[in-house]
Structure 1
């Protein structure tokens, strides 16, 4: 992605996986694979901004916008498959919320800016996401906006994220 008008890209991140991520050798039950990948790519974009652009990224001023046609569909399907057995962890339901795809970075990194998940194909949704991010940045709702696009191709999940700020911003 090239920098759209009215915003500057200060960091980039990517993440890919074809299987459930684990924590301590066990799968996470409270977040979908897409959520973990978005968090990984956003974290990488923030680290890139700090390293490459020397940006001082304060968690209180970071917004997150995620675009994903699938969102948490994998977790929703897992819940549906487990219904006949009658035993499901309540944590699975939290992980099935489509909003958790964009919310997990806030939980992990302490972001306090606005967040939004657009449940649509990134090709269609990323222009909308950048427009919203630009508005948030120009209105002072956030100093930085992470915009992430999640896709699935042949069973492989991929996320590309950028960290944006307003040109000439005092942030960072």
Structure 2
């Protein structure tokens, strides 16, 4: 197993531990992943996304969606009640688990199922304190003049 030494990253940066753990988990996970169920990830705009999973044969009650430590987990499990005798089974109905790493501030806003497709809506909600803000530049001389003229204005008011 190959590992990358991320120590130099920690020397000059703060708060990149999530990125390091994401890289580490990606590199350490098995390179052969199941392609089931197939899915699409679509960007609707700068702050909204959709994950679409093909879950034909599953009911809403067979699917569990959760978020744990910035990882979206979608699990599907069919009860073992199906005792059918298939001559050919091309529609996979096996249990599955799909994980999607979510970036900071990405929240799951809802999920719906229609025509065998599970649609999970995501939205990027940046807190107001984290949004960029403009800092106005004031003229220090003008401020000083305003401070110097305030007492005169107050004296005339009395």
Larger relative contact order (Cα-Cα within 8 Å, sequence gap ≥ 6): 1
The structure with the largest helix share of the pair is 1
Give the TM-score of the pair, scaled to structure 1.
0.27
The structure with the largest strand share of the pair is 2
Give the TM-score of the pair, scaled to structure 2.
0.29
